[in-house]
Every structure is written in C-alpha cells, then in structure tokens.
A and B are shown apart, each in its own frame.
Chain A
C-alpha cells in the first residue's frame, strides 16, 4: 500500500501510538486523549492528501525552499498553526512540540513498515513526500508558536508597565504633595503612609516578577521548610481577609492533622493568592471558602468560590500569565497590587514542596483550587532547599 493510502486508512492506530509518546512529555501527562489528538489527525490527513497530489521536479524544488503553495497545503498549514497554538496553551514548550513531530514521523514509518508493504520503487518517493509534508508542518507550527509567544510577551510587558505605573504615579503625586502639607502633621502622616503602601505594592509586584523569572529559567523556587501548623496559618489568613473584606462571606474549615514541614512564607503566599483570586473572580452572592484537610501523608488546601465558571478551554492556561496574557485580558481585571501572577506562583509553591495544584470549575459546583502538599517537602530535581542541613552541604 502506498504510504499516503496507509496513513489515510490508519489514522486512528497511528494516533494511538503517537498519543503514548505525547502523553509521556511532561505537560501532556494529565491531558485527555481528545486534547492530545485534536489537530494531529488533521495534520496527518492533510499531509496524506498533499502526498497524493501530483508533483513535478520543479514543484518539489520550489517546495523545498518553501516557495510552492498548492491548495492542499492550506489545510496542512492551518492544522499545523492551530496545533502549535493549542500546545502552547497546554504548557508544551517548543522542544516538546518538535519532539511530538519526531514521534509522529516515527510512528507513521514504523507502522507502515510493520504492515509489510512489498518492495516498491515508489517507496523513496513516498518517503520524500511524507518528510516534506512533516517538515512543512513543523515550520508552520514553529512559526505559529513563536509568533504567539512574542505576542503574549508583548502583552504581558504592556500589562506589567501599566500595573507598575499606577503605584509609581501615586508615589510621585504624593511626594509632590509633601512640601505643601508639611505644616499639617495629620496630612504629612497620611502622605507618608500612602507612599509606604504603594512602595510595598511595587515591591510585591517586583518580587512576583523575580519569582516568575527565576522559575521560568528553571532554577526552581527556593523554599525553607520548617515545622508548621497549617491550621494556625490558615486562621491568620482567614482573619486578615475577613478584616480586609468585611462585606464578603469568607469561611474557614479545618479537618485532621495539619502539621508538617513547609516554607511558611511561601505557603502563606500561595493561599493568599488563591483567596485573592477567589474574591476577585467569585460572585459576592456566594461565600469564599478556605478548607484544609489533613490525610496520612498529605494535606489538602481547598479554596472555593461561586460565580461564573472558568471556560473549560482556559483551565490549563490560567496558571501561566504569559499564555493567559495572549488573550489580551483587560489590565484593569488584575487585582490592585497584582500583575496577574498569583496562580502561577501558587502552582510553583506547590511544586517546590513536591506537591501540586489542581482546579475544577463548573456552573453548578463553582470553582475550586486544590493544593496538595506532602507533609515532608519532597524537592524536585534542581529544587533549591534552604534548610540548615542543605545549606551546610553547600
């Protein structure tokens, strides 16, 4: 059987084999089959149709330079672009996207070979055409991926600039007031407090940005685990949020042993980010609930809010501000004092303790973020642990 016909007759079995590989790549391991295969079938079918179309030597030479563009290529180009954008949204990096193509090529050729086609003089031509199509698809996918990343980065920087400018503007304006109000102690104190408050807001934004940069560079978030009662920490946060939002119904529930070895500041930061997010996006008609449950080896931290659910297609994207930023969200939707990195940092805090964060969101059940923390911090590869024992070894 010619290779193009083999592909068209065996799309499902090729995808099944390729699916195993794609799932083994970090970001793909928790995704359902449909999400993984979404555009790969279209890429295969478009590639096969392209292979079946007649091609002259001149046409081949042009195509090798990316100059020829027969109608069949439109479907392949479009599927390749969509595939890359979807992969970006699902957290695949560029290397993983290209690795998937390698696996797709290998899956097709292995299965074709195993189908034991008899020797055919046209095999070389088929292989050449198939490789051309896959290479074309990779080129389009990489271009689409990088273009989307560039666009998202530009949007992210614009939002960052906007959000940093607000507290800076407030500081500048208040500093300008100081000479005018210096004879009025109450006004002068108010000005000082306003400057301090906005400096703190900027410090927090910059700290978030540094955390983001450090973890994106692969250095991992440094943690300093000590004995911690998460129940006490949760009660402190609960009181803080209730004081800051007296009109909202904020609830706390704790259950089981909540003691373990964690970095108090980082866990506080993660829970605070989730509570802030729940208040920002939840409906005031429903309570925001912080609940903690201790099980034998893990503690689970749940933050729940009612209101509009997160669209299913967005669930995988919400943890990465760079990806989420590409949707051109209005900068004013960020909480004051936030550059929209709260969920990303919460996820990194969970990972840095050897745990994880999950989210479910439906109209009926509301939105629930769950952090699972092992009682003993289990570092990831390359994870900086800053406890006394580790520091001594450094």
Chain B
C-alpha cells in the first residue's frame, strides 16, 4: 500500500486514483498526525509526502518516521511544490529517497517513479 500525505485533499485523492489504476493499493491523508497514526496500522510500502502542510510540515513528519525504530525502514518520497534547495537538501539528509517537484514532472513519470520506489504490487498489498 502506498500512503499519500498532502493537505490538499484533491491532490491526494487524484494521485490515489492514478496509483490504483497503475495496480497499487493507495490511500491518502491530509495531515502529518493522520499519517503517523496510519503508518502504525497499515504498514505501507512507500510514503509520498508533501512538505508545506499546516500544523506539522513534511520535513517534521519525515524526521519522526526515520527516527522511529518500527517505521524507519519505510521509504519516503517527497512530492512538493517547494523548490528551495535547502528544503531538498534537508529532505535528503533526513532520509527521503527522492524529491519530486509538483508541476515539473509529468503525471506518467510521476506514477512510474512512485511505482518503481514502491516495488511490485503484492497480492493483497
């Protein structure tokens, strides 16, 4: 299962649908707190994480995931319109496997890259 975390609900839902059509199970939440709660229950194979979110930003969520012994093995890919190099550098430093910028990557490529990072969909995944 691929977990999408984006405070823009429409983006999360649309990406969720695109990934389902690509053969993956996907779910989306709109806050870091919801994501952390769901990570313990659903054990996703990949987290797609926005950066600019109210209350808890994506870098904080990433730090919490990577600092948790039961969650730190889950790969996290950032998907954000934040193009500041310091944000990208910090995301990489914290352990993000990639940083995809909204609006600069075609949706076919976006889905292909996410699927590649998530691995082959498993039966019942």
Contact = CB atoms under 8 A, between A and B. Distances in A.
Interface of A: 161-162, 165-170, 172-174, 176-177, 180-181, 187, 194, 197-198, 330-333, 336
A143 B7 CA distance: 39
A331 to B, nearest CB: 5
22 contacts: A161-B81, A162-B81, A166-B11, A166-B81, A167-B10, A169-B11, A169-B102, A170-B8, A170-B10, A172-B103, A172-B107, A173-B18, A174-B14, A176-B108, A177-B17, A180-B18, A180-B21, A181-B21, A194-B10, A198-B10, A332-B7, A336-B7
A165 B108 CA distance: 18
B13 A194 contact: yes
Interface string B96-115: 00000011000110000000
A161 B13 CA distance: 22
Contacts of A197: 10
Interface of B: 7-8, 10-11, 13-15, 17-18, 21, 52-54, 57, 81-82, 102-103, 107-108
A331 B15 CA distance: 22
Contacts of B102: 165-166, 169
B21 A173 contact: no
A173 B52 contact: no
B11 A332 contact: no
Given A172-B107, A176-B107, A332-B7, A162 B14 contact: no
A207 to B, nearest CB: 20
Nearest to B103: A165
Contacts of B17: 177, 180-181, 187
A203 to B, nearest CB: 15
B18 A176 contact: yes
B10 A174 contact: yes
A48 to B, nearest CB: 44
Contacts of A176: 18, 107-108
A331 B54 CA distance: 9
A332 B30 CA distance: 12
Contacts of A167: 8, 10
Given A181-B17, A197-B10, A169 B81 contact: yes
B14 A165 contact: no
Contacts of B10: 167, 170, 174, 194, 197-198
Nearest to B58: A332
Contact of A173 (B15, B53, B54, B82): B15
A177 B57 contact: no
B104 to A, nearest CB: 10
A170 B18 CA distance: 12
A205 to B, nearest CB: 14
Contacts of A173: 11, 14-15, 18, 107
Contacts of B82: 162
A203 B54 CA distance: 23
Contact of A336 (B8, B13, B15, B103): B8
Contact of A169 (B13, B54, B57, B103): B103
B81 A170 contact: no
A191 to B, nearest CB: 8
B54 to A, nearest CB: 5
Contacts of B53: 332
Given A167-B10, A194-B13, A198-B10, 20 more contacts: A162-B52, A165-B103, A166-B8, A168-B103, A169-B8, A169-B11, A169-B81, A170-B10, A172-B107, A173-B11, A173-B15, A174-B10, A176-B18, A176-B107, A180-B21, A187-B17, A330-B57, A332-B7, A332-B54, A332-B57
